[in-house]
Structure 1
Amino acid sequence: MSETFFANLDALVAGTTVTVDRPKDSVHPRVPQAVYPVDYGYLDGTTGGDGHAIDVFRGSATGSGVVGVFVTADPVKRDAEVKVLIDCTPAEIEQIRRLLDDVLEIGGLLVSR
């Protein structure tokens, strides 16, 4: 993967506030069986593929920074998005993958740093 891509993500994250609107262990608003394994939110003042702010998962490995992204495709919403992984451990990344693949059924292609 291009180091320029991750350097650009680092710059976005460093210059932006992360807003958590679904804290760890909260339930997805439309899918009650989906429980967030880490904090989920967005980067204020950014725009993602769906026209809304860039989505982020923030884990417990404080100081690790951007460790990768999941690329998702949702046929119901008819969109594809990038979800940035910040401060996530390998175990948390696996939990997020299971949430995206098995519960939300939108898939998630992991691009590790």
Structure 2
Amino acid sequence: MEFFEALDELVRTSDVVVDRPRGTAHPRYQEVVYPLDHGYLRGTTGGDGNGVDVFAGTARGAGVVGVLLTADVGKRDAEVKILLDCAPDEAELAREFLAALGIGGHLVERVSG
């Protein structure tokens, strides 16, 4: 199974739990605000031991459009953050949000084939 097909399956078989709605301040960095709904896939495990992270945008029905790959030296972890139903500008907002947290992220867009 191809990488993005596997992510499609994870999303299809999991509930998306939004625990930080768009407009919410980050719990540790109050000056940084979530530009998109942020949460996780219930019943999955990401690099930090919690559910796989998801940024959910407003392009309903677009599905998994890409991922952000992160390496957080402070937490000593690396993660994949799914971009679900995100328009291109929303994917960039998520990347900028991570940069504001000092984490940064490498955007890997899904290429239609």
Give the TM-score taking structure 2 as reference length: 0.95
Percent of paired sites with the same residue: 58
Match of 2:81 in 1: 83
Deviation at 1:94, TM superposition (A): 1.1
In the alignment, structure 1 residue 98 sits paired with structure 2 residue 96: yes
The equivalent residue for 1:112 is 109
Counterpart secondary structure, 1:91: helix
Q: 1:5 aligns with which of 3, 6, 28?
A: 3
- Distance across 2 between alignment mates of 1:97 and 1:54: 17
Which of 2, 6, 21 lines up with 1:23 in the alignment?
A: 21
Task: Report deviation, 1:6.
Answer: 0.3
Shift of residue 49 of structure 1?
1.0
How far 1:24 moved relative to its partner? 0.5
When normalised by structure 1's length, the TM-score is: 0.95
Displacement of 1:15 in angstroms is: 0.5
Q: Unaligned stretches of 5+ in structure 1?
A: none
Find the counterpart in structure 2 of residue 53 from structure 1: 51
* Aligned position for 1:73: 71
Q: Secondary structure at the match of 1:76?
A: coil
Give the aligned length. 110
The one-letter amino acid of 2:30's match is: P
For structure 2, the residue ranges without an aligned partner over 5 or more in a row are none
Instruction: Point out 4+ residue stretches in structure 1 off by more than 3 angstroms.
Output: none
Aligned residues: CA RMSD? 0.9
